[in-house]
């Protein structure tokens, strides 16, 4: 190789490395901008009905509002974890509800993909398939798995957004009311805005049975806005997290142990006729790893 060609190759490699670092920095800034105190509006409406059942009833249009604190739990170069807490009731003495959690992993290769009926299939992808991408892993209120997917953050024309389509369980607003489908195929778009961020969704309601083709019975639009407000408005949620964060660190550690087994995961709906979150939300019991670990393990099907 000629000296000039070799020198140009070094410059090109160095430039590409700098560009990748600059891009990753923008990604991290976008992800972490979803932290803080937000006035949230949740909007969902069924848009198309494909059911052949003449008695089919579309889901009601749903609009809710609330105050939500998004707590930065883990801040690393390749992992950002954000815990969401709903704050409701009297601002002087609010009631705090532990909500969903989202983890963002850079160039992650291991996935738990939802496949219906409380089952997640373990999938390992080649590094080449996730180069430059971020996986969003979304967890239930008890830190059990919900859904996840990988895609590239895009920063163009003054916009920053991430888009992915993946299978998920029924949302909480549906699974206590509907039993005519068992998969929500979620089309997720997270876009950072001047006022905060938007979670834009285009979802499909799917019937999945072994050995049969999926049946789409309806489609749904979701549009959730997160408007940034002073952190002081979420002081109740901040105080709650500071009081309870050590317990939930133990719970996350146990789940991390389960996820690290890298095999298909199937969970029980109830143990002794009680769902997991009702055990874990018991503030008097299940405070230590000795109490927490066997409880969570009891929900894992062998």
Query: Tens of pLDDT along 169-216?
Result: 999 888 888 999 999 999 999 999 999 999 999 999 999 999 999 999
Enclosing H/E stretch for 223 = strand 215-229
Query: Tens of pLDDT along 241-277?
Result: 999 999 999 999 999 999 999 999 999 999 999 999 9
Domain ranges for the chain: 20-234
Tokens in use for 18? 């700098």
Fold category of 20-234 in CATH: Lipocalin (2.40.128)
> What is the Cα–Cα distance from 31 to 11, expressed in whole angstroms?
30
> What is the Cα–Cα distance from 103 to 110, expressed in whole angstroms?
13
Three-state DSSP state, 243: helix
> What is the Cα–Cα distance from 12 to 295, expressed in whole angstroms?
54
Does residue 68 contact residue 87 with C-beta atoms inside 8 Å? yes
pTM: predicted TM-score of the whole model, two decimal places: 0.91
Our separate counts of H helices and E strands in the chain read 5, 14
Which residues of the chain fall below pLDDT 70? Answer: 1-20
């Amino acid at each position: 190789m000629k000296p000039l060609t070799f020198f140009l190759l070094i410059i090109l490699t160095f430039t590409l490395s700098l560009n990748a670092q600059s891009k990753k920095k923008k990604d991290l800034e976008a992800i972490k901008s979803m932290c803080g105190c937000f006035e949230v509006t949740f909007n969902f409406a069924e848009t198309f009905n494909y059911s052949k059942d003449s008695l089919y009833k579309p889901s009601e249009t749903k609009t809710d509002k609330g105050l939500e604190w998004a707590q930065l739990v883990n801040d690393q170069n390749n992992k950002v974890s954000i815990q969401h807490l709903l704050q409701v009731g009297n601002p002087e003495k609010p009631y705090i509800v532990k909500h969903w959690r989202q983890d963002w992993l850079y160039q992650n290769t291991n996935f738990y993909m939802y496949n219906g009926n409380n089952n997640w299939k373990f999938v390992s992808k080649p590094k080449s398939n996730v180069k430059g991408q971020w996986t969003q892993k979304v967890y239930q209120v008890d830190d059990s798995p919900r859904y996840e997917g990988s895609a590239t953050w895009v920063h163009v024309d003054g916009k920053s957004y991430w888009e992915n389509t993946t299978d998920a369980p029924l949302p909480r607003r549906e699974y206590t009311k509907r039993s005519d489908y068992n998969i929500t195929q979620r089309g997720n778009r997270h876009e950072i805005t001047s006022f905060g961020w938007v979670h834009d969704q285009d979802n499909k309601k799917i019937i999945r049975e072994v050995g049969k083709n999926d049946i789409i019975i309806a489609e749904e639009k979701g549009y959730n806005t997160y408007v940034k407000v002073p952190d002081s408005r979420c002081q109740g949620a901040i105080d709650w997290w500071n009081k309870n964060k050590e317990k939930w660190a133990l719970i996350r550690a146990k789940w991390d142990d389960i996820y690290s087994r890298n095999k298909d995961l199937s969970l029980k709906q109830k143990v002794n006729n009680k769902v997991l979150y009702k055990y874990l939300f018991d503030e008097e019991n299940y405070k230590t790893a000795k109490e927490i670990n066997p409880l969570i393990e009891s929900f894992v099907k062998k």
